[in-house]
A and B are shown apart, each in its own frame.
Chain A
Amino acid sequence: MLKKKTIAMYMLTLVLFLAACSNGASNEPDKEGAASQATGEATTDDGKEIELRMSWWGADERHEKTLKVIELFEQKNPGVKITGEYSGFDGYLDKLNTQIAAGNAPDLIQLGGNIKEYVDKNALLDLTPYVGDILHVDDFNGGLVKAATFNDKLYGVTLGVSSTTLMYNASMFEKAGLPVPNENWTYDDFKADVIQIAEKLGKGHYGSYDLSSDAASLGSYLGSVGKELYRDGERHFDKQEMIDWFSMWDELRKAGAIVPADVQVASPPTAVDKSLVVKGEVAIQSASASQIFGFQELTQDQLGLTVYPNGPAGSGMIPPISGQFITSYEGTKHPEMVAKFIDFMVNDPEAGVILGSTRGVPPAAKIRDVLAAQSTPVDKVLYDYISLVSNTAPAVDYQQFPLDNEFTKLLQLTSEKIAFNANSIESSVDEFMTETDKLLAKAKAQ
C-alpha cells in the first residue's frame, strides 16, 4: 500500500518536472516559427521585414553610437530590422567561434586583425559581387582594401584607420622645459630629449619606454636608415642595423633615460590602466594612434601624437593601417542588405558623423573632411596626426612580417635578454638573426 503511494508521489514530481520543461519548450518553437516566417516573407520580396543580426565588441560609447547608426539605417530602409549583439572584447571571439560552429553566427560581424583566420575557416561572405554596385570602396586608400582581400576576393570593409606611432606626455615635455617633438625630429633629437627629461624630472621619471622590443618601432627605424623589415619573403636588414638598434637603447638604458626592464615588465605600455605615460612618469611610448582617446580620458596631463624620428634616409613611418573590419557571415540569408548596410556605415555622411572615431579614423576621405570640421580637441590631435602621417610616410607598400606573433615574441625575448644583462648585444643579435631566418624559412615552407 505504502509503496504504491510512494510511486504515485514520484510520478507526480516527474510529471511536474516534465510540465515545467515542456512549458518552456513550447514557448520557443513559437518564436522560432515566427523567425522563419519572417525570413520566408522577406525572400518573397513583398517589402516585409528583413531581420539581421550584427555583433561587435567595444565600450559603451561605441555601443551607443553604433546603435544610433542602426536606427538611422532602419529609418531609411523601412522593413529592415537589425539587432545588435554587443559586448566587451572578453569572450567575444569565443562566442563567435561557438556560433560559427553551430551555424548560428550573426549576419554582420566586426573583426580585427584576425580576419584571415575566419577567411580560412570559410566563415565569411565574399563581398566582391556587391562592390561598385551596392558597396563603394573606391574612395579608400588602396592598401586598406588590400588588407581585407584574400585570393582576389574582398571579405571585409575597414571601419577605421589607425597607425602605430609615438604617443607623448606633452605636460612632461613642458615641465622639462623642452618643446614638443615635430615631424622633422631625428633620432639624435629623440636621444637628447629623452635624456634631458629623465635628468630634469628626477628619480622615478623616464624619457621613454624601452621600445627596442617593439616591432613597429623597429620597422620604422629600419625604414629611416634605408632598410626594410620584410619584403617578398626576405628580410631586408643586416646584423649591423640590429646592433645599432639595440646599442642605441642600451646607451639610453645605461644613462637611466628609459624605463628599466623590471619596471617595464610590471607596467607595460600596452595596458592603458598600467601605462606610466598616463601616470606622468614616462614621457614617450609607442601606441596605436586611436588609443589616445582611452589614454587621455584617464589623465589630466596633455597627451600628443608624433611620428617616429627621422634617420639618414628620412622618415620610416609606416602608412596607416586598418584597425577593424566589418564582415559578413557566409551563411547570411540577405547578402545584399548586408552589403547595403556596410556601405551605409562607411560612406553615409550622417552615419559617419555619428560614429566619429569610435573605431579609429574613418577610411573614406569625404567623411574625414566632414568630421574634421566639428572635432573635439582629442579628435583633432588624432586627425592632424593621421593627415601628418599620410603626408610624411613614404609611399611604400608595407608588407607585414609573416608569422608576426612569433617574430614579435622573438624581438621581445632578444630585447629582454639585453635589458636584463643576460647576454651581450653581439651574441643576442647573432641569435636573433638566426632565429629570424628560421622563421622566414618556416613561412616559406607553409
Chain B
Amino acid sequence: MAIHRQIRSFFFHALVLGFGLLMLYPVFWLLSASVKPTTEIFTSKGLWPSSITFEHYSEGWFGLRNIQFGRFFLNSLILCVVAVIGTVLSSSMAAFSFARINFPLKNLFFALMLGTIMLPGHVTLIPQYIMFHKIGWVDTFLPLMTPKFVGDAFFVFLIVQFIRGIPKELDESAKIDGCGWFTLYFRIIMPLSLPALITAAIFTFMGTWDDFFGQLIYLSDIKKFTVPLGLRLFLDSSGSSNWGAVFAMSVLSIVPSLVIFFLGQKYFTQGIATTGLKG
C-alpha cells in the first residue's frame, strides 16, 4: 500500500514537474536568447547557446542615445509606487464605506461603481486624453497617477468582499470602547484586511509595470519613458530590430515583478482564497 502510494506520488510529481517545465519553456528561451549572438537567436534550434555573450545587456542598457535604460526603470518604479499607494488608499476607503457604513442610495452607487468595470477603456480614451490635454498634463506622469487616487472599481469590489467576511462583532466592541469611523477603518479593519490590500497592491504594481498603451499615449519625451516604452524602442516591425537588446532588457524587466510577487505571495494567495475571487 505504502509503495503503491509512493509510486503514485512519484508519477504525480513527475507530471507536475514536466508540465511546469513546459510552461517555463518560453522563459528559458528568453533567457537563452538574451545571451546568444544575434545571428543565432532565430537560427539555432537548441536552448544552449554556442557561445555566451553579455553584450546585449550592455547594448540595451547603455546603447540608446542620450539615455540609459536605468532611467526607464526608475520612471516605471516611481509610477508604480505612486499607483500602488493611490489605489490601495482610495480603494480601501471606498470599500470600507460600502461594506460598513449605511448611507442613502448605497446600493445604487455600488452598482454604478461596478458598472464602470464593464466600460471598455477605449470608449473613455479620447475624451480622457482631450481632458488631460486641456489641463496641460499630457507628457507628464499626472494622467497616469491621478486617476489611481480616485479608486479602482475592481479593487473596491475585492476589498468589500473581504471586509464583509470580518465579523461585525469586532466593530461593535470597538465602538463600545469609543472608536469612531476613522479609527475603526484604520485600526481595526485595515490590519485585518491586509491580505486583500496586498493583493490589490500586487495587481496594481504588475498592471502598471506592464501597461503599454496608457503610457504610450501620454508620454512622449524619452526622458519620461517607462520600461514597456523603452523596450519598444529597439523594435521596428518594418525594418531592423535589435532583438538581442530587447530580450536582454525583457529579462531585466521581469525581475521587479517577480520580486514583488514572491515577497507578497503568502498574502496574495490568502487574499484571493478568502475573497472567493479567481486571479
Give A residues with C-beta under 8 Å from B: 2-3, 5-6, 9-10, 17, 20-21, 24-25, 28-29, 31-32, 53, 55, 57-64, 67, 83-91, 94-95, 98-99, 101-104, 112, 272-274, 278-280, 290-291, 293-294, 297-300, 323, 358
Specify which of A84, A293, A297 lies most central, judged by the most chain B CB atoms within 10 Å of its CB: A297
Alpha-carbon distance between A358 and B241 when the two chains are bound, in angstroms? 12
Given contacts A3-B180, A280-B43, 10 further A-B contacts (CB under 8 A): A25-B137, A28-B142, A32-B136, A59-B239, A86-B222, A91-B213, A91-B217, A102-B133, A273-B243, A294-B240
Inter-chain contact A67/B240, CB cutoff 8 Å: no
Inter-chain contact B43/A9, CB cutoff 8 Å: no
Inter-chain contact B217/A2, CB cutoff 8 Å: no
Main SS of the interface on chain B? loop
Inter-chain contact B239/A58, CB cutoff 8 Å: yes
B contact residues around A20 at 8 Å (CB) = 149
Question: Which of B59-67, B189-197, B253-261 touches A?
Answer: B59-67
Some 17 contacts from A to B, beta carbons below 8 A apart, are: A25-B142, A28-B140, A59-B235, A60-B65, A83-B220, A89-B236, A94-B217, A95-B216, A99-B129, A101-B126, A101-B129, A278-B43, A293-B240, A298-B43, A299-B39, A300-B43, A358-B239
Inter-chain contact A59/B129, CB cutoff 8 Å: no
Q: How far is the CB of B90 from chain A (nearest CB, A)?
A: 9
Inter-chain contact B180/A2, CB cutoff 8 Å: yes
Alpha-carbon distance between A25 and B142 when the two chains are bound, in angstroms? 8
User: For the complex, is B29 an interface residue (Cβ under 8 Å from A)?
Assistant: no
Inter-chain contact A6/B181, CB cutoff 8 Å: yes
Alpha-carbon distance between A61 and B236 when the two chains are bound, in angstroms? 10
Inter-chain contact B178/A2, CB cutoff 8 Å: yes
CB-based nearest B residue for A112? B238
User: Beyond A87-B233, A90-B232, is A298–B41 a contact (Cβ under 8 Å)?
Assistant: yes
A contact residues around B138 at 8 Å (CB) = 102, 104
B contact residues around A28 at 8 Å (CB) = 135-137, 140, 142
User: Beyond A67-B65, A102-B129, A102-B133, is A87–B242 a contact (Cβ under 8 Å)?
Assistant: no
User: For the complex, is B237 an interface residue (Cβ under 8 Å from A)?
Assistant: yes
Number of A-B contacts (CB under 8 A): 149
Inter-chain contact A6/B130, CB cutoff 8 Å: no
Question: When the two chains form the complex, which single residue of A53, A61, A112, A323 contacts B240, counting CB atoms closer than 8 Å?
Answer: A61
Chain B 206-217: CB-based contact to A (< 8 A → 1; otherwise 0): 000000110011
Give B residues with C-beta under 8 Å from A: 38-39, 41-43, 63-66, 125-126, 129-130, 133, 135-138, 140, 142, 145-146, 149, 178, 180-182, 212-213, 216-217, 220-222, 229, 232-243, 245
Inter-chain contact B39/A62, CB cutoff 8 Å: no
Inter-chain contact B237/A90, CB cutoff 8 Å: yes
Question: When the two chains form the complex, which single residue of A63, A95, A102, A299 contacts B64, counting CB atoms closer than 8 Å?
Answer: A63
Inter-chain contact B222/A84, CB cutoff 8 Å: yes
CB-based nearest A residue for B238? A89
Inter-chain contact A60/B178, CB cutoff 8 Å: no
Alpha-carbon distance between A47 and B216 when the two chains are bound, in angstroms? 34
Inter-chain contact A67/B212, CB cutoff 8 Å: no
Inter-chain contact B235/A272, CB cutoff 8 Å: no
A contact residues around B41 at 8 Å (CB) = 298
Question: When the two chains form the complex, which single residue of A10, A24, A53, A59 contacts B233, counting CB atoms closer than 8 Å?
Answer: A59
User: Beyond A60-B245, A63-B64, A85-B220, is A24–B142 a contact (Cβ under 8 Å)?
Assistant: yes
Alpha-carbon distance between A9 and B41 when the two chains are bound, in angstroms? 59
A contact residues around B178 at 8 Å (CB) = 2
Inter-chain contact B39/A67, CB cutoff 8 Å: no
Alpha-carbon distance between A354 and B228 when the two chains are bound, in angstroms? 28
Q: How far is the CB of B107 from chain A (nearest CB, A)?
A: 22
User: Beyond A2-B180, A28-B142, is A102–B43 a contact (Cβ under 8 Å)?
Assistant: no
A contact residues around B38 at 8 Å (CB) = 297-298
B contact residues around A298 at 8 Å (CB) = 38-39, 41-43, 243
User: Beyond A6-B182, A17-B149, A28-B137, is A88–B235 a contact (Cβ under 8 Å)?
Assistant: yes
Alpha-carbon distance between A112 and B233 when the two chains are bound, in angstroms? 18
Q: How far is the CB of A284 from chain B (nearest CB, A)?
A: 18
Alpha-carbon distance between A95 and B130 when the two chains are bound, in angstroms? 13
Inter-chain contact A278/B42, CB cutoff 8 Å: yes
Q: How far is the CB of B39 from chain A (nearest CB, A)?
A: 5
Inter-chain contact B42/A57, CB cutoff 8 Å: no
Q: How far is the CB of B66 from chain A (nearest CB, A)?
A: 7
B contact residues around A89 at 8 Å (CB) = 235-238
A contact residues around B232 at 8 Å (CB) = 87-88, 90-91
Alpha-carbon distance between A58 and B182 when the two chains are bound, in angstroms? 53
Alpha-carbon distance between A84 and B225 when the two chains are bound, in angstroms? 13
User: Beyond A112-B238, A294-B239, A298-B38, is A94–B233 a contact (Cβ under 8 Å)?
Assistant: no
Q: How far is the CB of A54 from chain B (nearest CB, A)?
A: 11
Inter-chain contact B130/A101, CB cutoff 8 Å: yes
A contact residues around B220 at 8 Å (CB) = 53, 55, 83, 85
Alpha-carbon distance between A323 and B236 when the two chains are bound, in angstroms? 14
Alpha-carbon distance between A104 and B143 when the two chains are bound, in angstroms? 15
CB-based nearest A residue for B186? A9
Question: When the two chains form the complex, which single residue of A58, A64, A87, A112 contacts B216, counting CB atoms closer than 8 Å?
Answer: A87
User: Beyond A88-B235, A102-B129, A298-B43, is A83–B217 a contact (Cβ under 8 Å)?
Assistant: no
CB-based nearest A residue for B220? A85
Inter-chain contact B217/A98, CB cutoff 8 Å: yes
Inter-chain contact A5/B238, CB cutoff 8 Å: no
Alpha-carbon distance between A279 and B39 when the two chains are bound, in angstroms? 10
Question: When the two chains form the complex, which single residue of B39, B137, B233 contacts A88, counting CB atoms closer than 8 Å?
Answer: B233
A contact residues around B126 at 8 Å (CB) = 98, 101-102
